[in-house]
Amino acid sequence: MSSNDDKTAKDNNASLSTTLSADWRQLVQRIIKAEMSKRGTKYQDLSDRLAHIGIHQSADNLRNKVNKGIMGADLLLQIMYVLNMRRIERDDIIDIFADLGCPLE
């Protein structure tokens, strides 16, 4: 395989990886927004709930992180805790990916 073929393969893999990362970020966004909606929770409410457990995030900061679907695992778990989420079901993840047009299975 030539060096051009190697570069093309690496570029294709990087592009696929970026697409998959964006899909996972969209999954995080949808899950959190759905849970907030079920509970009638606004971003300021979420900020207040997090502050109650010692986590200080402004409503605007939370909105940005949720809308981008980018946050640390610790913040995701803290949000799940303050929203009283019991679990994220594997089947829900599969369904969301299917809705996004990129089935996992």
The amino acid sitting at 88 is I
Residue numbers of the domain that contains 56: 3-99
Q: Is residue 104 part of a domain?
A: no
Q: Is residue 105 part of a domain?
A: no
Q: Is the pLDDT of residue 34 over 70?
A: yes
pLDDT of residue 81: 97
The burial class, CB within 10 Å (0-12 / 13-18 / 19+), for 91 is: exposed
Match 């913040």 to its residue by tokens: 75
Nearest partner of 92 among 22, 26, 27, judged by Cα:
27
Tens digit of each residue's pLDDT (9 = 90 or more) over 75-105: 999 999 999 999 999 999 999 889 888 888 7
- The model carries a pTM of 0.78
pLDDT of residue 15: 52
- 28 in Cβ contact with 69 (< 8 Å): yes
Domain count, the chain: 1
| Cα(80)–Cα(10) distance, integer angstroms | 36
